[in-house]
Chain A
Amino acid sequence: MRINVCSVLVDDQDKALRFYTQVLGFVKKTEVPVSDEYRWLTVVGPGEPDGVELLLEPDSHPAVRPFKEALVADGIPFTSFAVEDVQAEYDRLTALGVVFTQPPTEMGPVTTAVLDDTCGNLIQIAEMSA
């Protein structure tokens, strides 16, 4: 058994694909229609075509929205990505108009920041301190 896919619940798959590829810099891997409305839509890290896929999953189930809203209100990122340099990513992404609820902050052995993915989620980016 191995982990090959994890999900983020997004309010709009097209918007999510734009944000996760054009802004964050991931690369689309799979796009397969599963209904009239939705697709099995995944992205992978740049240079990691065989890495873990991130599934941009529709948040249409009625239980999902209140769950996401409660997490966002308290500033809680449900998903975290590793970066080489949190400050550099923060600078790059804020220049692109990305909103952060937490600027780069040292939290013990890691430096983290928290951003809004525009699809109803907060995302943490983290760098292990040297």
Chain B
Amino acid sequence: MTGKRTLAYDGGVGDVFKALADPTRRALLDELAARDGQTLFELCGRLMTRHGLSSSRQAISQHLDVLESAGLVHTRREGRYKFHDLDTTPLREITRRWPVPKE
């Protein structure tokens, strides 16, 4: 079992691919790239008004959980608020594995 897993994916990169495979999650990353440190409320508003995605707040929250377990989003408690930040570091593994030629 472990051998098979190593064959398929190296380390935690599998989670990144799964996280990126969903258009709603990609839209969440787009909006966090536009502005870091957003609440769930702001992200839901941006998805609805800028991407026409009217998923429920619960569904968005679950998408954020997937992004967080892939290391692409970090949540930060600041006082009584919870903010979401983008972290693109896990994407580096993709170009490390399949180098992109210089332009």
Interface positions of A (Cβ within 8 A of B): 69, 72-77, 101-102, 105-108, 112, 114, 122
B residues 25-74 near A (Cβ < 8 Å) are 35, 38-42, 45-46, 48-50, 57
B82 within 8 A of A: yes
Q: How far is the CB of B71 from chain A (nearest CB, A)?
A: 22
Q: Is B81 an interface residue (CB 8 A)?
A: yes
Number of B residues contacting the other chain (C-beta, 8 Å)?
Answer: 16
B96 within 8 A of A: no
A75 to B78, CA, bound (A): 11
B contact patch SS: helix
Please name the residue on chain B nearest to A73 by beta carbon.
B82
Docked pose: A76 CA to B40 CA in angstroms: 8
**How many A-B pairs with Cβ below 8 Å?**
48
Neighbouring B residues of A74 by C-beta, 8 Å = 39-41, 57, 82
Q: Ordered nearest first, which 5 A-B pairs have the shortest CB separation?
A: A75-B39, A108-B49, A75-B41, A74-B40, A107-B49
Which of A69, A101, A106, A122 has the most chain B CB atoms closer than 10 A to its own CB?
A101
B45 CB contacts on chain A under 8 angstroms: 105, 107, 112
Minimum CB–CB distance for B39 against chain A, Å = 2
B98 smallest CB distance to A (angstroms)? 36
Which chain A residues border B81 with CB–CB below 8 Å? 72-73, 75, 101
On whether the beta carbons of B49 and A75 are closer than 8 Å, the reply is no
Q: Which residue of B lies closest to A102 (CB)?
A: B42
Q: How far is the CA of A77 from the CA of B44 in the complex (A)?
A: 13
A73: which B residues are within 8 A, CB to CB?
80-82
A-contacting residues, B67-103, CB 8 Å? 80-83
